[in-house]
Amino acid sequence: MTRQPKWRRRSEARPEEIVEAALAIFAERGFAAARVEDIARRAGVTKGTLYLYFDDKQALFKAAVQTHILGTVTQAEETLSHDTAPAPEVLRAVVGGIGETLLRGPAGVIPKLLVSEAGNFPDLVQFYMNAVIKRGFGLIGRTVERGVAEGDFAPIAPNLAARLLMAPVAMMAIWRHSLAPWDPDPVDPEDWLKAHLTVTLAGLAVEKGGRTA
């Protein structure tokens, strides 16, 4: 059996590996300062190999969103279309799933990138707005609207409820990739997410008889 020399790298890498390397470099240096050469080196490929799969850094960013976030949004849409559970349970599952994606995995750096680089890369912000935020807000808004109609939630504009639910999640994701190393009293993201949902759902809840909880 002929062994390949240890120094010989395979000629191609899966696109997923390049995307992971890109996210790591984006997290370390920001989007504008990240270089394609460094992403290729982190992935263990040549720059030419990277360009076989991706045209530029913007394409890598979009691929990262598609790989790490859009699957969660699509799953949440499927949950909403088939789930007949009470609206509070569905809302907890939808927001919890999106929250887990942003607070546990590498995708959590994406909100920070968007906030810091929005002025320089408006096309990426528009892409994320259409692909993720509008769909996510729509999911949450429809669930809240159903909860109001069924008497589970106090009357509230669905679009406002969506922002109230997701803004703290985005802020926590940004905190994780910026101020967290200096946090004197760090918290576990899962514990924080549970507390956030408990407090928010309690604020939306309606007691029997129509009074807010």
Whether the per-residue pLDDT at 131 is higher than 50: the answer is yes
Return residue ranges of the chain for CATH 1.10.10.60. 9-54
Sign of the Cα torsion 10, 14, 16, 22 reads: positive
Give the model confidence (pLDDT) of 143-177 as tens digits.
999 999 999 999 999 999 999 999 999 999 999 98
CA-nearest of 128, 142, 58 to 94 is 142
CATH superfamily ID and name for 65-204: Tetracycline Repressor, domain 2 (1.10.357.10)
Q: What is the pLDDT of residue 209?
A: 54
* pLDDT band (50, 70, 90) for residue 208: low
Sign of the Cα torsion 185, 174, 109, 193 reads: positive
Do 159 and 141 meet the contact criterion of CB atoms below 8 Å apart? yes
Whether the per-residue pLDDT at 2 is higher than 70: the answer is no
Whether the per-residue pLDDT at 75 is higher than 70: the answer is yes
Whether the per-residue pLDDT at 57 is higher than 90: the answer is yes
Domain 9-54 has what CATH class? mainly alpha
Q: Which residues neighbour 157 within 8 Å (Cβ) at sequence distance 6 or greater?
A: none
Give the model confidence (pLDDT) of 82-97 as tens digits.
878 999 999 999 999 9
pLDDT above 90 coverage of the chain, percent: 77
* pLDDT band (50, 70, 90) for residue 213: very low
Return residue ranges of the chain for CATH 1.10.357.10. 65-204
Instruction: Please give the Cα distance from 55 to 50 (Å, whole number).
Output: 8
pLDDT above 70 coverage of the chain, percent: 91
Q: Which residues of 100-112 are buried (b: 16+ CB within 10 A; e: fewer)?
A: ebbbeebbbbbbb
